[in-house]
């Protein structure tokens, strides 16, 4: 994200969902905050797939920070379904149906 492998929209999307997550944790009684956070996580799964598929280099000459950046983006994408499941459980605990 920080080494310009992906465009700025990748960082803005993920950081805005992170901000919604902080808001959802602070507002323990708000069902809207957790709903927006879950929706944002699901949308970033889709946008991450699009960003990685478009900006992954065609050649296999990856080295250094660029390779690390792409690996961390893929690792983040792999962990997001688990995050979605945990946020959904929080949603159910707060009274969501």
* 77 belongs to a structural domain: yes
What number is the average pLDDT over the span 1-14?
80
Task: Give the mean pLDDT of the chain.
Answer: 88
Domain of residue 50, residue span: 29-95
Which of 87, 89, 93, 94 minimizes the C-alpha distance to 37?
87
* 91 belongs to a structural domain: yes
* 69 belongs to a structural domain: yes
* 68 belongs to a structural domain: yes
* 22 belongs to a structural domain: no
> 13-52: per-residue pLDDT in tens?
999 999 999 999 998 888 999 999 999 999 999 999 999 8
* 7 belongs to a structural domain: no
* 62 belongs to a structural domain: yes
Q: What is the pTM of this model?
A: 0.84
Answer whether residue 80 shows pLDDT above 60: yes
Structurally, the chain folds into a number of domains equal to 1
* 8 belongs to a structural domain: no
Non-local (6+) Cβ contacts of 36 within 8 A are: 20, 23, 24
């Amino acid at each position: 994200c920080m080494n310009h492998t992906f465009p700025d929209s990748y960082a803005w999307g993920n950081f805005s969902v992170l901000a919604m997550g902080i808001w959802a944790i602070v507002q323990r009684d708000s069902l809207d905050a957790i709903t927006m956070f879950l929706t944002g996580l699901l949308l970033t799964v889709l946008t991450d797939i699009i960003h990685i598929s478009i900006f992954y280099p065609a050649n296999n000459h990856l080295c250094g920070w660029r390779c690390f950046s792409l690996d961390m983006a893929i690792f983040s994408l792999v962990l997001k379904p688990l995050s979605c499941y945990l946020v959904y459980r929080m949603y159910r605990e707060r009274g969501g149906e």
